[in-house]
Structures are given as C-alpha cells and as structure tokens.
C-alpha cells in the first residue's frame, strides 16, 4: 500500500512539474508578443495590369498592436550632379551615394507618428525622411550632400519608385492583419525585402523580414546595375564630336585647295585668233 501511494505521489509530482512548465511557457509567450507573417507569392512578374503587379502580405499577432510594413528594393549606387549648367557632367559637382534602394514604400495600420516614436523611425529607416545613404564622395560639402539627397528622393518620387504616401494595413480581427503591396509597371527588377513590424504602446515588440523577387516580363529578375551617366548624353556627345571632326576635315580640305590655287595660278588663256573670211 505504501509503495502504491509513493508511486502515485511521484506521478503526481511529475504531472504538476510538467503542468508548471507548460504554464510557465504560456506565461512567457504572453509576456513576449510575437508576429508571424508571409506573402501570397514570393515572386511576381510585372505586367501591364495591376493584378499582376500586386502581392499580399498577411500575418498573425498573439496580442493586439499596430503593424508597419516596409518594402525596400535592391540597393544600388546613385550619382547626383549640381552645377551652373544643370546636370551637365563637365561643369557639375558630383555627389555619389551607395546603399540607395531602387524601390521604397511604407504601409501602416495607423498614422506613423502616432504608433512609432521618431527615434525608432530613424533607427529602422521608416519613412523617406529617415532613409540613410552612404556618401561615396570624398570631403563633400554637407549642404550640397543634403540638397543632393533631397533631389534624389524627389526624382524617385516623381518616377513612382518611392511611394509618396503611407499605404494601409488592415486588421481582419485583433490577431490577423493583411496589406496589398502594389508595384508600378516599371519597378526595378531584383530582390526585395518586406519587413513587418509589430508595435504596442509605441514600442517595437516583434518583427519578421520576408524576401520577394520582382521579375520582368522579358525574363528573369536581373539586378539593376549601378547608376551612371545617362547613355543619351554619351550618344549626344558622340554625335557632336563626329560633327566637329567632319566639319574640321571639310575646312581642312578647302584650305588645302585654296593653298594649291595660290601656289600654282592658272596661266591666262590667249584669245583665239579670228578666222579670216574667204573672198
């Protein structure tokens, strides 16, 4: 009898210990909010219709909060020129940046300033004002660098590859969220990163990063190359150089012709004697 009571007591203790571990894990899970997210597709091919240029990010949270989604395209180099004659490369000041995303957009479940403190926005580069570019130009003028940075962002906003407004993240219920990410038809191809962040009481409490491949209709997802001088500028300069060379050759030929004429003037022609009339 005592042996059975002892066995029952040991089994009870083991059961209570296991239950304590489970309760402890559940309490820890509740204490540390988590987020789980995914995409409806991990590769899209850009087309003429908006449906082919969209992908849905969706996920769950174990505690209610606010969601911020940051979409960032492949990083590359970019060059901004300022000068008295616009961006003409012979006279402009050249500011080179690295780590410039070819595409950038932000989505949120509420206004950013109401759910994300400014310091966290700056730390995680949330919003166009917080994008950090790496300066490649030696000893640049800080004023010129800031002007170049703003000009680059404005140019990409106009091109449609930097979203000017914050998109919407919606909640189906307290634990399920989703957002539709729509890309322009000329979005740069390459590897994108979609970062979903969970905020509660203006504190970052969870997050996940998902990769997305953006391809073109012509083939694969070729990575966009580093930015450089406009090819049309090279073509224009080549045409101008060819015109100058052709004009120089023409004038040189005319000059040589005139020199030969002066050195060897033609002898005056004698008048032809009139024929006598026959009587």
pLDDT at residue 264 is higher than 50: yes
**Residue 30: what pLDDT?**
47
pLDDT at residue 229 is higher than 50: no
The DSSP-derived string for 116-172 is S-HHHHHHTT-SGGG---EE-SSS--HHHHHHHHHHHHHHHHHHTSB-SS-EE-EES
Which of the pair, 224 or 62, is modelled with greater confidence? 62
19-30: average pLDDT: 42
236 band by pLDDT with thresholds 50, 70 and 90:
very low
- Residue-wise over 130-166: b if at least 16 C-beta within 10 A, else e? ebebebebeebeeeebeebbeebbeebeeeebbbeeb
Distance CA 128, CA 25 (A): 40
211-226: average pLDDT: 63
C-alpha Rg value of the chain to the nearest Å: 36
Per-residue pLDDT reduced to its tens digit, 107-119: 999 999 999 999 9
Residues 6+ away with beta carbon under 8 Å from 125:
70, 131, 132
């Amino acid at each position: 009898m005592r042996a059975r009571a002892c066995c029952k007591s040991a089994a009870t203790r083991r059961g209570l210990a296991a239950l304590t571990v489970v309760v402890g894990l559940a309490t820890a899970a509740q204490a540390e909010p988590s987020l789980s997210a995914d995409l409806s597709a991990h590769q899209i091919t850009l087309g003429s219709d908006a449906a082919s240029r969209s992908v849905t990010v969706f996920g769950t949270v174990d505690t209610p909060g606010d969601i911020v989604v940051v979409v960032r395209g492949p990083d590359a180099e970019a060059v901004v020129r300022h000068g008295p004659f616009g961006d003409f490369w012979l006279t402009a000041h050249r500011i080179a940046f690295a780590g410039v995303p070819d595409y950038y957009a932000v989505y949120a479940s509420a206004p950013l300033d109401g759910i994300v403190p400014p310091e966290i926005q700056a730390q995680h580069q949330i919003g166009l004002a917080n994008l950090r570019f790496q300066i490649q130009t030696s000893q640049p003028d800080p004023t010129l660098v800031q002007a170049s940075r703003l000009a680059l962002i404005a140019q990409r906003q106009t091109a449609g590859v930097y979203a000017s407004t914050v998109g919407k993240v919606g909640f189906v219920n307290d634990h399920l969220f989703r957002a539709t990410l729509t890309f322009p038809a000329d979005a740069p191809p390459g590897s994108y990163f979609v970062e979903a962040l969970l905020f509660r009481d203006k504190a970052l409490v969870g997050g996940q990063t998902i990769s997305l491949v953006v391809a073109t209709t012509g083939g694969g997802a070729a990575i966009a190359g580093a930015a450089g001088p406009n090819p049309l500028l090279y073509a224009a300069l080549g045409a101008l150089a060819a015109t100058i060379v052709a004009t120089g050759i023409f004038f040189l030929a005319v000059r040589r012709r005139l020199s030969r004429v002066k050195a060897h003037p033609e002898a005056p022609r004698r008048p032809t004697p009139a024929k006598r009339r026959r009587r």
